[in-house]
Every structure is written in structure tokens, then in C-alpha cells.
């Protein structure tokens, strides 16, 4: 059993757009967005659309000017809720301590885990990727704030661990198990 407090922040990457791409394979690899089709704003943009400068909450008209081939889809919130339930269901397979903070992100506590928290977090992310066909970013730390920051550092499909006792903010990026991982350097005393 691991004695150190271990909190994992789970954050789905471009969730609404990713769910649309997962549900319709013809949309994979294309610049898509979820939002108002003619008027309104972009609620979620795929990473392919983001390469053209499309972001949330950009007006749809501006997004279409930046990316003329942008496919804009109306939201399917029942589908997003179902994917969210499935995503967090994988977390519940390993711990009852799951706190969902929005439809696409939350925390789970692996402090009492009998197996390596890193191994568990990687297993959850792999299951989500294989079964749901969406990517998630995860940050592991001893508290919620640091784990949330860690999960957002190298999105998409990030996996970042901040080791207990780190004191500075310099990060080294290195690939481990096919994931991008950020490991904080120990501050010199």
C-alpha cells in the first residue's frame, strides 16, 4: 500500500469534439468544432481545428474565417453525458474516491492503492483511449491544485507526475511508455 497522498486530475482533451470524432469515424483527423452552426460560439474545438487558431469561446463566424473547412456540429449533450459516465466509471473501478468537477474533468484519490498509482492512472487512461476512442490528460501529485496544473502542462494526451517534495517550477519533459511526462527537478538546497 502506498502511504503518500496521491491525487490524480483527469481531464478529457477537447471533450465535446473528441466525443463527436469517436462517435463518427469519418470525422477523425478533421477540423471540427461543437457550437452554434451559423451564429453563436465554439464550445469545443478539435486539435486539428486548433491548428488553424480556432479556440473556445470564439464566435463561430470568426472560426469559419480562420478555418474554411471547419465542420461545426450542434452539441449532443446526452452523448457527452454518457461518455463522461463511462470515463469516470473507469476511475471507480480502482477507487471509490472520485470527485467529478465538470462533465470532462475531475479527481480521483489513489492514496490507499495497493498497486502503483502511476500504473493505475496509466491503465485508466489506456482503457479510456481504447474503449471510448478519446484522449485524456492526467496529472499526479499530492494535492488537487498541483495535479490539475500538471495535467494541463503538455496537453493533449499528457501524463505528468509531480513528485512529493519538489520545490521549484522547472520541468523536464521526457517520453515514458509512449506518454509525454513532466517530472519536476528537485530544488538544490
**Alpha-carbon gap, residue 99 to 19, rounded angstroms:** 21
Bridge partners for 180 per DSSP: 158, 175
Catalytic residue among 20, 105, 138, 161: 105
Reported residue count of the chain is: 189
H helices of the chain, in order, are 15-23, 47-50, 60-66, 77-92, 117-127, 144-152
User: Which CA distances in Å does 39 have to 58, 64, 119?
Assistant: 11, 11, 45
* Active-site residue flag, 48: no
Q: Which conformational region is residue 100 in: left (phi greater than 0), alpha (psi within -120 to 50 degrees), or beta?
A: beta
For residue 189, the SS3 value is coil
Q: Annotated catalytic sites, by residue? A: 105
Amino acid at each position: 500500500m502506498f502511504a503518500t497522498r496521491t491525487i490524480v486530475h483527469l481531464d478529457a482533451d477537447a471533450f465535446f469534439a473528441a466525443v463527436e470524432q469517436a462517435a463518427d469515424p469519418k470525422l477523425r483527423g478533421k477540423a471540427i468544432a461543437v457550437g452554434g452552426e451559423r451564429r453563436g460560439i465554439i464550445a469545443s474545438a478539435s486539435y486539428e481545428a486548433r491548428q488553424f487558431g480556432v479556440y473556445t469561446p470564439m464566435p463561430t463566424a470568426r472560426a469559419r474565417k480562420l478555418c474554411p473547412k471547419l465542420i461545426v456540429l450542434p452539441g449532443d449533450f446526452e452523448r457527452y453525458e454518457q461518455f463522461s459516465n463511462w470515463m469516470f466509471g473507469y476511475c471507480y473501478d480502482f477507487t471509490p474516491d472520485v470527485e467529478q468537477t465538470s462533465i470532462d474533468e475531475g479527481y480521483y484519490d489513489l492514496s490507499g492503492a495497493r498497486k502503483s498509482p502511476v500504473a493505475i492512472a496509466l491503465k485508466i487512461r489506456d482503457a479510456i483511449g481504447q474503449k471510448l476512442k478519446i484522449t485524456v490528460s492526467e496529472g499526479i501529485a499530492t494535492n488537487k491544485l498541483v495535479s490539475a496544473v500538471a495535467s494541463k502542462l503538455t496537453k493533449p494526451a499528457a501524463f505528468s507526475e509531480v513528485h512529493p517534495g519538489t520545490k521549484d517550477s522547472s520541468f523536464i519533459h521526457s517520453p515514458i511508455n509512449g506518454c509525454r511526462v513532466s517530472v519536476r527537478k528537485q530544488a538544490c538546497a
